[in-house]
Chain A
Amino acid sequence: MTEKRATPRYLVGCDAGGTMTDVIIVDEDGRSIIGKAPTSPHDESIGYMESFWEALEYMGISQEEGKDFGKQVETAIYTGTSMLNTVINMSGYKTGILVTRGFEDIIAQGRGSQTFIGAQWSEITHMQYRKHRTPLVPRKQARGVTERIDMFGKVVIPIYEHEVEQGIRELLLDEQVEAIAIIFLQSFNNPQHEQRAAEIARRVMKDVGREVVLELSSEVAPTMREISRANATVVQAYASDPARKQLFRIEEELAKIGYPHSLKTVLGYGGITNIRYPRLFEAAMSGPVGGLMGAKYLSSVIGEENIVCSDVGGTSFDAGTITAGVLPIDREPGFQDMYVNVPMLGITSIGAGTGTYIRVDPQTNRIKLGPDSAGGTPGPAFMEAGNETPTINDANLLLGILSETNYLGGKVKINKDASYRFFKEKVADPLGLDVYEAAETCLELLNVMMREHLVQSLMVGHDLREYVLLGYGGGGPLHLLGYAGDYPWKAVCTVPHAGGFSAWGGACMDYSHRRHKSVGAVITPDLDDATKLAYLAPVMGAWQALEAELNKELQEEGFEEDQISIKRVVYMKYYGQLDDVEVESPVATLDSTADMDALIAAFEALYTKMFTLAARPDIGAYHITEVCVVAKVDTVKPVLRTFELADATPPEKAFKCKRQVFMRGKWQEADIWEMESLVPGNEIAGLAVIEASNTTLLVPPEWHVRIDEHDIYWLTRKDS
């Protein structure tokens, strides 16, 4: 994309969400067009291609004209839910597990906290709501093997090989499994037993003439916490191949229009890889990643290294932070009511979006927002598709913020009267409020929920004054200034293609792989420096081993060693604590006291910032629990164009009309603008509504918007 060719070249990104699939086509100049279509979980290629054709249509290219368009596509990337759908639909391989004897129930029993992942406190205290998910591996498909390795990696009970042989035989012949996961305790400290069991398993497979998928927890997720490691390994065994088949379907459809390359997919920790990548479970939670990676790329271009990323979709509000240009990693995220040792970008979500249901509790007369939502189907009440419970977008419509004629670019006909009728009956009347007051009240409550999620949950330990708040997602610009509130953000901004920003972000990622490894390095103040360095040797050892592994992997995928850049990370805590913090090492080696001191200083600075000085124990004992290496290869990304700035006054054609908008308890006249006709340099003062085909930006009266040279919309208070 850096060099112009006679035939234009394109990047095609995709974000397949729970409701809609967005496909974004980006040209060499950084211009982008987004298509949208309902997600089709049974065959994701359908939603993908419908969305793709819609984007082409916006480009003025018909299906007939676009039948060879794939030849012009440089890279096509998929971000989405194929793994997720395989797990939700229970359509993966029949999987058996071989586990340390006595742990045969590890999947079926799970752990208590998996029954309330993401639940609200009122749900957690309500015992009748408890429900374990249907296990991906029922107990019947589990076999135990007597063996034990201790926390130092020492073999205490040598593996009973005859039990391995018997267990594998039974899984293959009696249970007819299609995949086997081997999960032994402490295997992350010493994989010897798992590897031996795998050797036996392969021999038995040969003997009985059945080859099945075989995964080892020490290879899939070599980190501490056996339940999460088991879940991760089972997801890899159960879902990777079936999900890959969905991706191959998309690749096939793209090949039909001439796309000559392999489809790429997005890994949960931010990075792209070929869909043939063996560790596809790392892509299980790639859905919300695109937005964060897009924001990270944006941050590097605009020179802002601290960004709060906020994505308002139809069903959820997803948020993450970029601090000093670095995205935090969650090493044990919840996935489909399981904890998994799969690194994922630190994204937290609440059930709050534009489709969120609004109800009034008949007993307490209190407003209840969600956490469930109407999604794309049946959608808000104004869609008249069977939903009679008002949603947030019904409120937006009633208040004049959304246009009756511009919903989804005007392609969908909606009925404001339906919103009014149901809102009055179900919300306003029970509250004893006027319909419009009630609608504004509900919007403000949603904004508070989102704001609190950002400020109290996400931003613990961070100073808001150092962060730019970026809003995106179809509903992002609509609610951005509501949830920005009057908190002292450094700046607030959004992008014109907010509805497709996550898809765009998918095209912004580097080719990147990441590996974690548990270690146990403790240094205490009574040790001399030489001993401390000796105790840190396992950290160095693990860094080197992981680095070699990643280098090899990426070189096998066709990259040269000098293209690969390496980042080293430790997870560190004060000795005795359970929770550690992620520290990017400022040094590449731990060979000297100066190296060690630099690492400790980086940890202490971060810890104090996160948890207050009062929390810092003055004990001088530190514990490194885990190390990580990230290997990255820069890839071609969409160009973020630099435009010449036009006048502050928008072009005449951008002005659509004036409309009454209900705000602060009264009807006020708002200027309505067409986003597609605005150009960099333009400025608009609130009260205004800026409409695009995939989003709507609300600018309240006290706010002002300026479009910069990158087409980014900066929102500032008029009085600032």
Chain B
Amino acid sequence: MATRSLKDQIASNEEAFKKTGALFGLETLKRKETDPGTYEAVWHILSNLCNAAWATGCKVSSSPIAAEGGDALWGLHTPTGEAICISRGISAHAGLLADMIKNFIDIGYEEYPGFKQGDIFENNDPHYGGIHSPDFDMCMPLFYEGELVAWASCVSHVADAGSVTPGSIGFINPDCYSDGLAISMERVGEGDRFYPWYELRIRSRTRTPDFVMGDARGRLAGCITLRERLFEVIEKYGLDLFKEASLEYVEDSRRYAVGRVKTQTVPGRIRKSQFKDLAMKGKRVLLAKQDVDCMFNLPMELTINADASVDLSLAGASGTVPFGENISPTALKSGLMMGYSHIIGFDMFNSGPISAWNIEMPPAGSWANPYPVDYQAASGVAWAPAVTWVSSLYEVFGRLFQTRGFIEEMAAGSGTIMTAEFSGINQTGMYLTGLTLEQASQGSPARGFADGENSAWCIYTPEADFGNAEISELYYPILFLGRNVAPDSGGYGRFRGGLGHTAVWMVYNTPGLEYQCGDAGMRSKIVGNHGMYGAYPAVPDRPGYGRDTNVKELIDAQKPLIHERGGPENPAVASAIEARDVQDNMIAPFVTPEPLQDYDIIVHPIAGAEAMGDPISRDPVTVVSDLNESWTSERVASDIHGVATTQSNGAYVVDEGKTARKREQIRKQRIARALPFKDWWEKEREKVQAQEGMDPAVIRMWASSMELSPKYAEELRRFWNLPEDFTFGS
């Protein structure tokens, strides 16, 4: 009997899923039921294989991003591409790697030139499912006794992919041609070796080719490790068991996710509306069309059906932007899959859970589905707005868990992500560009029972960590003057968001350094979330810098320097130093207008996460504890939390009587300014209809959302009782 093509197998798998509701038509999990021990043992072994690949690959990789930050992932896939299991690392890519393999099959590589052992395939091109050019996705077919039995995959984030500006956070890219080197669904090697042209292209088209090639070797070494170990497993347990069990793991994982939805949530419809700003007007940009402020609309509607299936609608997303924040649906879906793993699918993470979702993707022509309309859209930092949807998933599911009493599973929204990227000659005289690891360790979201943790979570990688300052100084021409917890950087609530930190750098020992304060999900003009259950949102991202400073004179005179951002009343750059160009409250993102010089200062804050519950219901003891740790201010303790304090032995203590009175006063003030909903709605409706006080960026956002998603527009008009022909900007 002739072997069916992989393309045919994909088609029949889809058919079987439609027909049975079970992936691959697996209505029973035979291997699991008949031999649960072996089933579990092989799962354990396969997971370990992926981790062994990760350990090998990260050690071989050159870049601090992979080796110190763990920003890489290895996976094992079925012949038709579904992820069976993945390593530790940046799980956001698991779905994307699965789709890449399917795509290689779909576009005909199986027929020509065919797949064989030792082939190395890569893609980083967003047009074909890549997320952004610095994320190199690799896969290798694994043949056992002549049969393609699996795929090994890997992604790693390189320091520079040759985009128009140095680095890997290409928010300023105006179009896809400026995104840098594209590996567009290519076979880049055979016989476990890269083709010679591959290295030549890396050398001529990226700014840090040794690092980029080191990462490539790391990807390859990990995939080969995975292959060799897998064959030992097949030898031991048999090919049939591997083939059958690997499909069952994917279906079992889907069932696990459905089971959690069924037992821990309630059916119904829930929405979360979020927005993101990208204020670029008047800043250093590349093309005239970029002299514009943008807003992103990120609505989400989630429906839990009676059978625990999940419908997710992302209709209403606004239009494309002339910057690098546009994302392909494939990459978006992979990010959502990762978000799901943070809230639902902890156990057996693979392609299973997401397949239980019915997703209405963002409309064609939106920033989250650009290519059908704008094929030239840039994706230099495609996930920047998209991670907001992951944060929305946290909150939406948090609310659902709360309805069933699972408060220990609740999480408020995640922090925003503002990156710092440098390029220039470093302290050893070598040109270097790359991303610091600061943003990879933010505050974690408040939980249903406790505050979030400080500097302990990152929405794009659970391996949240900012590494050591001394490692950063090895690579970049900077000296750290501070890296402390940033007071009050999390949202305020009964349980506050975990706090972020502030990196304070002094430029040092370089002829010039470009500081790119990047957008990887930042907010600067609006808040990143709205607070959950009465909490107040975390503060937006506002970095600062001082150019041509008097820091050297201050050092010589042993005067105080700058080590923190300072509060809103006393921003540190302005109060601590003098400089020709003092920027205390910059609207992110931006690139410094000209290179910074020795003794210039950068103040780069990293976000805290969102809070939960009313801040005046926060236990006063925890407020005082934060005061004593210098993690909150007297103003916030008093005005936001309503906590009055006194001093005893140099420490704050709660004044219970005054606190009770203060909180009562806050409640009364709230009541005094409150309006019945209908009154508020009527007032707001007038403003909406008149488009009163709306920034042009906001108007453009609403106009494009309504144009691209007619049903969403219809509902919007209905909610505000607007005329049927109402549009924004008219």
Q: Mark interface residues in B587-621 (1 if CB within 8 Å of A CB, else 0).
A: 00000000000000000000000000000000000
Cβ-based interface call for A445 (8 A): yes
Whole-angstrom distance between the alpha carbons of A238 and B170 in the complex? 46
B72 to chain A, nearest CB (A): 12
Q: Which of A104, A112, A126, A127 contacts B484 (CB 8 A)?
A: A104
Cβ-based interface call for A323 (8 A): no
Given A150-B427, A577-B67, decide whether A102 and B480 contact each other with a Cβ distance below 8 A: yes
Verify A174–B650 contact, CB threshold 8 A: yes
Q: Which of A112, A156, A461, A619 contacts B464 (CB 8 A)?
A: A112
Verify B36–A615 contact, CB threshold 8 A: no
Residue of B nearest to A361 (CB): B347
Q: Mark interface residues in B485-507 (1 if CB within 8 Å of A CB, else 0).
A: 10000000000001001001010
A33 to chain B, nearest CB (A): 38
B68 to chain A, nearest CB (A): 6
Q: Which of B469, B555, B564 contacts A185 (CB 8 A)?
A: B469
Q: Mark interface residues in A567-599 (1 if CB within 8 Å of B CB, else 0).
A: 000000011111100000000000000000000
Whole-angstrom distance between the alpha carbons of A526 and B485 in the complex? 44
Q: Which of B36, B453, B558, B564 contacts A441 (CB 8 A)?
A: B36
Among A108, A138, A174, residue most surrounded by chain B Cβ atoms (within 10 Å): A108
- Interface residue ranges, A against B (CB under 8 Å): 100-106, 108-113, 115-116, 121-128, 130-132, 138-140, 144, 146, 148, 150-152, 156-158, 160, 162, 174, 185-186, 224-228, 361, 363-367, 431-433, 440-442, 444-445, 448-449, 452-453, 456-457, 460-461, 486, 522, 574-579, 610-612, 614-617, 619
Verify B256–A577 contact, CB threshold 8 A: no
B441-479 contacts to A, CB under 8 A, are: 441, 444-445, 447, 452-458, 462-471, 473-474, 479
Residues in B with CB closer than 8 Å to A228 are 468
Residue of B nearest to A619 (CB): B210
Q: Which of B61, B91, B474, B482 contacts A151 (CB 8 A)?
A: B474
Verify B214–A577 contact, CB threshold 8 A: yes
Residue of A nearest to B563 (CB): A102
Verify A103–B484 contact, CB threshold 8 A: yes
Residues in B with CB closer than 8 Å to A619 are 210
Residues in A with CB closer than 8 Å to B220 are 614-615
Whole-angstrom distance between the alpha carbons of A431 and B34 in the complex? 10
Q: Which of A130, A140, A452 contacts B45 (CB 8 A)?
A: A452
Binds A, one of B51-59, B372-380, B702-710: B51-59
B267-326 contacts to A, CB under 8 A, are: none
Cβ-based interface call for B714 (8 A): no
Verify B60–A615 contact, CB threshold 8 A: yes
A144 to chain B, nearest CB (A): 7
A399 to chain B, nearest CB (A): 13
Residues in B with CB closer than 8 Å to A115 are 453, 456
Given A132-B456, A363-B259, decide whether A226 and B470 contact each other with a Cβ distance below 8 A: yes
Q: Apart from A121-B349, A452-B45, what are 15 other A-B pairs with CB-CB below 8 Å?
A: A109-B454, A109-B483, A111-B465, A121-B51, A122-B347, A156-B508, A226-B469, A363-B256, A363-B259, A364-B259, A456-B51, A456-B229, A460-B52, A574-B214, A612-B221
Residue of A nearest to B609 (CB): A127
Given A105-B485, A125-B341, decide whether A448 and B470 contact each other with a Cβ distance below 8 A: no
Whole-angstrom distance between the alpha carbons of A377 and B454 in the complex? 35
Between A and B, 9 residue pairs with Cβ closer than 8 Å are A127-B457, A138-B629, A146-B558, A150-B473, A365-B32, A456-B48, A577-B62, A578-B67, A579-B58
Given A122-B346, A448-B45, decide whether A146 and B560 contact each other with a Cβ distance below 8 A: yes
Residues in A with CB closer than 8 Å to B471 are 224-225, 578
Verify A140–B457 contact, CB threshold 8 A: no
Whole-angstrom distance between the alpha carbons of A5 and B260 in the complex? 71
Residues in A with CB closer than 8 Å to B88 are 121, 124
B185 to chain A, nearest CB (A): 23
Verify B47–A127 contact, CB threshold 8 A: no
Q: Mark interface residues in B664-685 (1 if CB within 8 Å of A CB, else 0).
A: 0000000000000000000000
Residues in A with CB closer than 8 Å to B561 are 101, 146, 157
Verify A105–B650 contact, CB threshold 8 A: no
Verify A611–B59 contact, CB threshold 8 A: yes
Among A123, A126, A127, A433, residue most surrounded by chain B Cβ atoms (within 10 Å): A127
Residue of B nearest to A186 (CB): B470
Whole-angstrom distance between the alpha carbons of A431 and B456 in the complex? 38
Verify B427–A151 contact, CB threshold 8 A: yes
Residues in B with CB closer than 8 Å to A367 are 36-37, 40
Cβ-based interface call for B715 (8 A): no
Verify A577–B40 contact, CB threshold 8 A: no
Whole-angstrom distance between the alpha carbons of A452 and B14 in the complex? 34
Whole-angstrom distance between the alpha carbons of A610 and B225 in the complex? 11
Verify A617–B480 contact, CB threshold 8 A: no
Q: Which of B211, B467, B484 contacts A576 (CB 8 A)?
A: B211
Given A103-B484, A112-B441, A432-B33, decide whether A224 and B45 contact each other with a Cβ distance below 8 A: no
Q: Which of B470, B483, B560 contacts A225 (CB 8 A)?
A: B470
Verify A124–B37 contact, CB threshold 8 A: no
B183-234 contacts to A, CB under 8 A, are: 192-193, 210-211, 213-214, 217-218, 220-221, 224-225, 229
B31 to chain A, nearest CB (A): 12
Verify B67–A579 contact, CB threshold 8 A: yes
Cβ-based interface call for B110 (8 A): no
B154 to chain A, nearest CB (A): 13
Verify A130–B484 contact, CB threshold 8 A: no
Q: Which of A123, A146, A186, A227 contacts B473 (CB 8 A)?
A: A186
Residues in B with CB closer than 8 Å to A522 are 428
Verify B440–A101 contact, CB threshold 8 A: no
Given A132-B454, A577-B67, decide whether A124 and B630 contact each other with a Cβ distance below 8 A: no
Cβ-based interface call for B255 (8 A): yes
Verify B221–A111 contact, CB threshold 8 A: no
Residues in A with CB closer than 8 Å to B564 are 102
Residues in B with CB closer than 8 Å to A101 are 481-482, 561, 563
Residue of A nearest to B447 (CB): A128
Verify B37–A444 contact, CB threshold 8 A: yes
Verify A111–B44 contact, CB threshold 8 A: no
Verify A130–B457 contact, CB threshold 8 A: yes
B611 to chain A, nearest CB (A): 15
Cβ-based interface call for B541 (8 A): no
Whole-angstrom distance between the alpha carbons of A625 and B666 in the complex? 58
Verify A103–B349 contact, CB threshold 8 A: no
Residue of A nearest to B629 (CB): A139
B193 to chain A, nearest CB (A): 7
Whole-angstrom distance between the alpha carbons of A365 and B560 in the complex? 62
Verify B349–A125 contact, CB threshold 8 A: yes
Given A102-B483, A445-B37, decide whether A578 and B68 contact each other with a Cβ distance below 8 A: yes
Whole-angstrom distance between the alpha carbons of A401 and B458 in the complex? 47
Given A445-B44, A612-B221, decide whether A125 and B91 contact each other with a Cβ distance below 8 A: yes
Q: Which of A102, A131, A160, A617 contacts B217 (CB 8 A)?
A: A617
B415 to chain A, nearest CB (A): 12
Residue of A nearest to B194 (CB): A614
Residues in B with CB closer than 8 Å to A575 are 210
Verify B455–A127 contact, CB threshold 8 A: no
B134 to chain A, nearest CB (A): 17
Q: Which 3 interchain pairs have the tightest Cβ spacing?
A: A102-B482, A441-B37, A102-B563
Given A150-B479, A612-B224, decide whether A112 and B458 contact each other with a Cβ distance below 8 A: yes
Cβ-based interface call for B15 (8 A): no
Residue of B nearest to A518 (CB): B470
Residue of A nearest to B47 (CB): A121
A171 to chain B, nearest CB (A): 12
Q: Mark interface residues in B562-594 (1 if CB within 8 Å of A CB, else 0).
A: 011000000000000000000000000000000
Among A101, A449, A610, A615, residue most surrounded by chain B Cβ atoms (within 10 Å): A615
A57 to chain B, nearest CB (A): 41
B502-536 contacts to A, CB under 8 A, are: 504, 506, 508-509
Q: Which of A113, A433, A574, A610 contacts B36 (CB 8 A)?
A: A433
Verify A615–B629 contact, CB threshold 8 A: no
Residues in B with CB closer than 8 Å to A431 are 36
